[in-house]
Amino acid sequence: MVTDEAIEGDASLHITVNSAGANFWDAGLQHTGHVFRAGKQYTLSAFLKCSEGTLDINFKPELAADPWTGYGDQVFTMTEEWTEFSVTTPVFEADTSPAAITFHIAFEAADFWIDGVRFYEGEYVEP
């Protein structure tokens, strides 16, 4: 569901996780169809906030097939305030395909918002 609660622009994506998974990776948001190129590194950034307390989320640029190798993946803890989080991959030694940008969200039941997602070549650049 898109809401008018936004860090930038007019809307953000509001997500409800109905229950925790057996594993935090049992549910997620994923954008597929990427190729991570040899000699390049990439950064994934997003603004997040939860409805109450704190909530964990896993950022994982990854190989989108078994063994689901992560590149620079990290768990972050969001709060009730908009905060930007970022991960930067190592420099790839070979082309990696199929690749995906994944946010694992099954840590616990919760409501949260995500906005301003960016995926780009290079190290973190403040917007």
Question: What does the pLDDT look like over 35-58, one tens digit per residue?
Answer: 999 999 999 999 999 999 999 999
Question: What does the pLDDT look like over 97-127, one tens digit per residue?
Answer: 999 999 999 999 999 999 999 999 998 777 6
Task: Give this prediction's pTM.
Answer: 0.90
Question: What does the pLDDT look like over 6-34, one tens digit per residue?
Answer: 777 788 999 999 999 999 999 999 999 99
Contact 81, 97 (CB under 8 A): no
Q: Is 127 a domain residue?
A: no
Distance CA 127, CA 113 (A): 19
Specify the amino acid at residue 105. I
CATH of the domain at 113: 2.60.120.260
Tell whether the model's pLDDT for residue 83 goes beyond 90.
yes
Specify the amino acid at residue 76. F
Indicate the number of domains in the chain.
Answer: 1
State which residues form the domain around 49: 2-121
